[in-house]
Amino acid sequence: MQIAIIGSGYVGLVSGACFADFGHFVTCVDLDEQKITSLAAGKIPIFEPGLDNLVASNAEAGRLKFSTGLDAAVAEADVVFVAVGTPSRRGDGHADLSYVHAAARSIATALRGFTLVVTKSTVPVGTGDAVERIIAETNPGANFCVVSNPEFLREGAAIADFKRPDRIIIGIEDERAREVMAEVYRPLFLNQSPLLFVSRRSAELIKYAANSFLAMKIAFINEMADLCEAVDANVQDVARGIGLDGRIGAKFLNAGPGFGGSCFPKDTLALVKTAQEYGSPMRLVETTVAVNDERKRGMAQKVIAVCGGDVRGKTIAILGLTFKPNTDDLRESPSIAIISALQQAGASVRAFDPHGLDGARSIFSDVAFGADAYDAASGADALVIVTEWDTFRALDFGRLKQVMVAPVVVDLRNIYRGAELARHGFAYRSVGRPSEDREASLQAGREGRQ
């Protein structure tokens, strides 16, 4: 099939490369000439494991092209996916649909023959209706259907998610779209990927509902972590105990510094605003948003407390700037709030991230970036692990102790154990686990029973 994808950002580029790998012929369109020129030259503007090879192989095979020419790409297409950004609108938190509406108007003038226009962007309920109206008003003679097909791609695992999805949600209002969308995703049928056809408005809500529910799980376990610290319990034991219940599940029950990224913060806020607009407020999601915002700031206070309640004149090393591993995305990352609060409290900050330094330089001021974890830790009064990159999971603490002013580690991802750090002479604090003296005692007891 001939597919055009409008928007060559994260969702558009991953989707385009994967569709091409299925055997479809795909043109990714973007107004950013520099981005298109770079993509055509094989330069990938984002870090996503495996994406560079996938793009290169399909471009070489002639199944994947990049262009700034929307009209030609749409005119040739059987299906046009809209994958433009929908950031939170300044001032009110609603999703900004200006890019979606602009894409709809441009698509309308270029349509030739029966074409499916599919919203891949994350959009509020009713957006498909608006897109349909815009196209019909712009080109009254157009023969088209508007479909909702939300994406469920995890940054760092997007290709696997696209090719081996839990579900494929397709929202339709015109039965002509069913057969075409089934053909688009037919290469996945051997994997028995569940193709779920629902109404267009239901599909639009499913994406927001899914992300908001997962965000609530994170906020819940983070509040449980605070309670665990207060009563000297272990949040990891609690998470495992409740996660073994099949009705709850173990995923998204890792306590930490709060959620960030391009989806959860934006989508929870957009769902809150949509619910308020329709007079059906979602109190749980509203609270999730507030709890998460407070969580990030609270992590800076944890670091300050470990440093004796005052970080003025001290140097804090931050390991991990992206909101999660295996991405270069810093959007709404906990590191932003943590670093800002530490600087406001008078600390100097040194930092390192395996793939986030380019983006970090445009966000953070007065931060010294290290060449690696040990360079960042040089001269530091405390080391804070914010993102659980694999490269931080086996640090050489003997080497760290040599370069740091004070042997203090604040582990916001619970990568290490207090007893292990104590053997290296480090003061150690984690999230939602027993005080280090008690944990060392418990660990000794476990070892004695073995």
Domain ranges of the chain: 2-198, 291-449
**Confidence category of residue 449, pLDDT binned at 50, 70, 90:** very low
Mean pLDDT of 368-385: 97
Residue 26 in 3-state DSSP? strand
What is the structure's pLDDT at 191? 62
Two tokens, residue 246: 């099949």
In this prediction the pTM is 0.91
Counting other chains too, the contacts that 248-251 makes at CB distance below 8 Å and 24 or more residues apart are 251/217
Look at residue 89 in the predicted model and tell me its pLDDT.
Answer: 85
- Give residues with Cβ within 8 angstroms of 103, minimum separation 6: 6, 7, 82, 84
Catalytic hit among 18, 28, 145, 263: 263
The whole-number pLDDT of residue 92 equals 81
- Cα–Cα distances (Å) from 314 to 121, 272, 286, 309, 439, in that order, read 44, 40, 36, 11, 28
Helix axes 235-243, 200-231, angle to 10 degrees: 140
Q: Is 46 left (phi over 0), alpha (psi -120 to 50) or beta?
A: beta
Predicted local confidence at residue 411, as pLDDT: 97
Note whether 88 and 49 are within 8 A (CB): no
Give yes or no for residue 277 having a pLDDT over 60: yes
- Domain 2-198 bears CATH identifier 3.40.190.10: no
Q: Pick from 157, 159, 151, 164: which is nearest to 211 by CA?
A: 151
Same CATH topology for 2-198 and 291-449: the answer is yes
Confidence at residue 2, expressed as pLDDT on a 0 to 100 scale: 97
The pLDDT value recorded for residue 450 is 47
Instruction: Retrieve residue 445's tokens.
Output: 């007891």
Q: What is the CATH number of domain 291-449?
A: 3.40.50.720
* Residues 360, 352: Cα–Cα separation, whole Å: 10
| pLDDT tens column, 288-326 | 999 999 999 999 999 999 999 999 999 999 999 999 999
Q: For the segment 135-144, what is each residue's pLDDT rounded down to a tens digit?
A: 999 999 999 9
Question: Using an 8 Å Cβ cutoff, are 23 and 187 in contact?
Answer: yes
Report helix, strand or coil for 116. Answer: strand
Mean pLDDT of 34-51: 93
Q: Give the number of other CB atoms < 10 A from CB of residue 309.
A: 9
Which of 224-238, 273-287, 429-443 has the lowest average pLDDT? 429-443
Q: Are 306 and 268 in contact (CB under 8 A)?
A: no
| Averaged pLDDT of the chain | 94
Angle between helices 127-138 and 98-110 (to 10 degrees): 40
pLDDT tens, position by position, 117-129: 999 999 999 999 9
pLDDT at residue 445 in the model: 41
Task: Note if 18 is an active site residue.
Answer: no
The pLDDT, as a whole number, for residue 444 is 42
Give the pair of three-digit tokens for residue 400.
Answer: 């760290």
Express as a percent the part of the chain with pLDDT over 70: 96
- pLDDT at residue 369 in the model: 97
pLDDT exceeds cutoff 80 at 443: no
Q: Is the pLDDT of residue 447 over 60?
A: no
